[in-house]
């Protein structure tokens, strides 16, 4: 995985240099190459496809704006993914504030979290997913990811879904590797408990 990243980044470096010279086509190549991963990070972070698409676009636009300031100390992909993680995190904070304002469940937040997850998903995707067990599991997993703290959420998404190395994650999240490890443990533990609760048995 790590080696694969390395070769990808080498291709990126070429495109990034072209982009810095104002070559828009080179940027389009980068968009096409990274959009899927960016969208998936955003989607797993936000749990909403439309929101994820919005965040993906925003991430690319801010990447284009900032590409001249991008120093090749880290890989372009790492830099790009850190943008999407930050944007998703900010969006989550916004949504959380929104939820607090909309809901009246300040005294029972745990229940609200779970309840909300279910409501969101039944309203959006249940008609398609309900009949398929696999899809149902996926939905439940996503529901559990959604229920996590954003710090835990991002670390699960980056490590267990996207498979980034501890090194890359500490780069993206601007935290030490030790923090990444301990955060990952707590995130996995929380996720495990959630899945146990949702599925009854693992």
Partner 1 sequence: MDCKSIQEKLSVYIEDIISSEEKAVIDEHLRSCQKCSGCLADLMKTLDYVKNIEEVEPPQWITTNVMAKVKAEADTGKGIFERLFYPLHIKLPIEAVAVVLIALTTIYIFNTIQPEIRLQDRTELAKAPSEEVINERLISQGDKKRGKDLMTSSPLLKEKELKPSPTFAQSDREKVLLYEKDKEESVPEEASETKAAESLKKAEAEGQAPGAKRDEVKKFSGAAERYESRREALSAFETKAKGDMKKEIINLTLSVRDVETASEKVEEVLIQFGGKAINKDNYENKNILNAELYLEKIDKLIEKLKMLGEVKQEEKSFESHRGSIKIRISIEKI
**Which stretches of the chain bind partner 1, using CB under 8 A?**
22, 24, 27-28, 31-32, 35-36, 39-40, 43-44, 49, 52-53, 56-57, 60-61, 64-65, 137-138, 141-142, 145, 156, 160-161, 166, 181, 184-185, 188-189, 191-192, 195-196, 202
Of 191, 96, 187, nearest in space to 140 by CA: 191
Got the DSSP string for 72-93? TTS-HHHHHHHHHHHHHHHHHH
67 vs 92 by CB, closer to partner 1? 67
Q: Report the first-to-last Cα separation within the chain, whole angstroms.
A: 28
Burial level of 42, CB count in 10 A (0-12/13-18/19+)?
A: buried
CB neighbours of residue 30 within 10 Å? 22
66 vs 115 by CB, closer to partner 1? 66
Q: How far is the CB of 107 from partner 1 (least distance, A)?
A: 30
32 vs 73 by CB, closer to partner 1? 32
40 vs 105 by CB, closer to partner 1? 40
CA angle in degrees (0–180, nearest 5) for 101-105-106: 80
Q: How far is the CB of 174 from partner 1 (least distance, A)?
A: 21
Q: How far is the CB of 52 from partner 1 (least distance, A)?
A: 8
């Amino acid at each position: 995985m790590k080696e694969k990243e390395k070769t990808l980044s080498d291709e990126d470096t070429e495109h990034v240099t072209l982009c810095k010279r104002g070559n828009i086509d080179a940027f389009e190549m980068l968009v096409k190459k990274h959009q899927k991963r960016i969208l998936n990070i955003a989607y797993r972070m936000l749990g909403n496809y439309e929101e994820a698409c919005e965040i993906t676009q925003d991430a690319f636009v801010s990447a284009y704006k900032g590409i001249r300031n991008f120093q090749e100390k880290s890989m372009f992909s790492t830099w790009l993914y850190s943008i999407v993680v930050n944007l998703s995190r900010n969006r989550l904070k916004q949504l959380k504030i929104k939820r607090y304002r909309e809901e009246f469940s300040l005294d029972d937040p745990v229940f609200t979290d779970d309840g909300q997850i279910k409501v969101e998903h039944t309203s959006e995707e249940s008609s398609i997913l309900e009949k398929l067990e696999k899809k149902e599991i996926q939905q439940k997993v996503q529901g559990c990811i959604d229920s996590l703290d954003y710090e835990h959420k991002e670390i699960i998404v980056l490590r267990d879904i996207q498979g980034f190395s501890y090194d890359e994650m500490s780069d993206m999240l601007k935290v030490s590797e030790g923090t990444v490890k301990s955060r990952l443990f707590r995130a996995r533990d929380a996720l495990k408990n959630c899945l146990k609760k949702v599925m009854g048995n693992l």
